[in-house]
C-alpha cells in the first residue's frame, strides 16, 4: 500500500517521537512504522529535509508526521523577524519560561494563521503525509494567564482554527488522505459541541500519561480524567499515541509500555531528559517484536 493513496487503512503499530533528529532520519527509524519529526533536522529552513529524504521514509512504509506548533512562535523558524524582540507584532505574547525562544501567539489572528498556512505548504511540498499540531492547549493561556478571552471563547477559536487547517489541507491543497494529530489537549473537547475538532483529527498524542520523568506516577485524578477522555476518542476510532519520558529508568519503561498497550494506546518510551534527539530502542519491547 502506498502511503499517499489510502492512509485511512494505515495502522500505526509502533512509532518514534524524534523532534530533534539528524540529516540521516530516513535511515534511522526503520524499526518503526511511523515517526514524528520536525520538518527540518535543525529547525531552520536551510536544514529542512529534502523530498528524497522524506520519500526514503515512505519507501520503507514509515509514515512521516511533521511537528507543527500552532500556538507558539519559535525564534529559529523561517518566519521569525529579529525586529520582533524589541518591536513585536500585536499578536505575539510572552516568552515561554520553560522553552527559551518560544512565544505565545494570538492564534486566531489572520497574520499568524497566514504564517501557519505557509508552513503547511512547506510540509506538504516535502512529502509529509500527516502533521502533529502542538500547543493547541495555548487556548487556555489566553483565558487563565492573559484574561483576554473566556475559556469557552478561546477554546472555540482554537477549534475553528484546527477545522480551518483541516479544510485548507484537504480541500484547498487537495490532500484528502492527509492526517492531523493534536498533542496533549483533552479539555478542549468539552467545548467541541459540534464535533468539528473530532472530525478534523485522526487522533491525539499524549505526553506523561502514566509516569513522570523521575519514575513517579502521574496524579491519579488527572490521569483518570485523561483516560476517560481518551476512551471517548477511541470509541470514535481515533488513535492514541503516548510518550512518557521514562528511559532508561529501571523497570519503568516496561511497565509504561504494558499499561499503554493494555489501554489500546501506542506507546513510545522517550529519554527521561526530555531530549528527543536519540532513537530509543529497548530490546524486546520497543519496537515490539
According to the model, what pLDDT value does residue 12 have? 85
**Is residue 276 situated within a structural domain?**
no
Task: Evaluate if residue 265 carries a pLDDT over 50.
Answer: yes
Q: pLDDT per residue over 65-90, tens digit each? A: 999 999 999 999 999 999 999 999 99
Residue 286 falls within a domain, yes or no?
no
Domain membership flag for residue 58: yes
Domain that residue 256 falls in: 7-271
The number of folded domains in the chain is 1
Of the chain, the percentage scoring pLDDT greater than 70 comes to 92
How confident is the model at residue 4, as a pLDDT?
60
Mean pLDDT score of the chain: 93
pLDDT digits (tens, 9 = 90+) for 225-243: 999 999 999 999 999 999 9
20-29 mean pLDDT: 56
Per-position DSSP letters for the chain, written without gaps between them: --TTT-GGG----SEEEESS--TTGGGT-TTSSEEEE-SBSSSSSTTBPPHHHHHHHHHTT-EEEEEEESSEEETTSTT--GGGGTS--TTEEEEPTTSTTEEEE-TTSHHHHHHHHHHHHHHHHHT--EEEEE-TTHHHHHHHTS-SS-HHHHHHHHHHHHHHHHHIIIIIS--TT-EEEEES--GGGGG-TT-HHHHH-SEEEEESSSB-TTSPBPPHHHHHHHHHHHHHHHHTT-EEEEEEEEETSSSHHHHHHHHHHHTT-EEEEEETT----S---BTTTBS--
- pLDDT recorded at residue 233: 98
Asked if the structure places residue 61 within a domain, the reply is: yes
- The CATH number of the domain holding residue 70 is 3.20.20.70
In a domain, 52, yes or no: yes
Mean pLDDT (whole number) for 184-197: 97
Residue 248 lies in a domain: yes
Q: Report if residue 289 sits inside a domain.
A: no
Determine, yes or no, domain membership for 282: no
Interval 151-168: pLDDT, tens: 999 999 999 999 999 999
Amino acid at each position: 500500500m502506498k502511503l499517499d493513496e489510502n492512509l485511512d487503512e494505515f495502522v500505526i503499530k509502533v512509532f518514534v517521537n524524534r523532534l530533534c533528529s539528524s540529516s540521516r532520519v530516513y535511515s534511522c527509524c526503520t524499526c518503526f512504522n511511523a515517526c514524528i519529526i520536525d520538518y527540518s533536522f535543525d529547525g531552520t529552513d536551510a536544514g529542512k529535509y529534502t523530498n528524497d529524504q522524506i520519500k526514503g521514509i515512505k519507501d520503507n512504509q514509515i509514515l512521516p508526521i511533521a511537528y507543527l506548533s500552532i500556538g507558539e512562535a519559535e525564534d529559529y523558524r523561517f518566519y521569525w523577524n529579529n525586529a520582533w524582540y524589541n518591536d513585536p507584532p500585536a499578536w505575539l505574547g510572552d516568552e515561554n519560561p520553560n522553552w527559551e525562544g518560544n512565544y505565545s501567539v494570538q492564534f486566531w489572528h489572520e497574520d499568524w494563521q497566514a504564517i501557519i498556512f505557509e508552513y503547511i505548504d512547506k510540509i506538504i511540498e516535502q512529502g509529509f503525509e500527516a502533521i502533529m499540531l502542538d500547543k493547541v492547549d495555548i487556548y487556555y493561556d489566553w483565558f487563565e494567564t492573559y484574561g483576554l478571552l473566556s475559556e469557552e471563547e478561546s477554546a472555540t477559536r482554537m477549534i475553528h482554527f484546527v477545522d480551518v487547517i483541516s479544510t485548507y489541507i484537504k480541500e484547498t491543497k487537495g490532500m484528502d488522505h492527509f492526517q492531523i494529530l493534536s498533542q496533549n489537549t483533552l479539555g478542549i473537547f468539552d467545548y467541541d459541541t459540534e464535533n468539528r475538532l473530532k472530525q478534523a483529527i485522526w487522533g491525539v498524542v499524549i505526553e506523561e500519561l502514566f509516569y513522570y520523568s523521575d519514575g513517579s506516577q502521574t496524579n491519579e485524578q488527572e490521569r483518570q480524567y485523561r483516560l476517560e477522555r481518551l476512551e471517548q476518542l477511541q470509541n470514535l476510532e481515533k488513535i492514541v499515541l503516548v510518550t512518557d519520558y521514562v528511559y532508561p529508568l529501571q523497570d519503568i519503561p516496561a511497565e509504561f509500555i504494558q499499561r499503554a498497550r493494555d489501554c489500546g494506546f501506542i506507546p513510545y518510551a522517550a529519554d527521561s531528559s526530555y531530549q528527543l534527539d536519540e532513537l530509543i530502542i529497548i530490546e524486546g519491547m520497543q519496537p515490539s517484536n
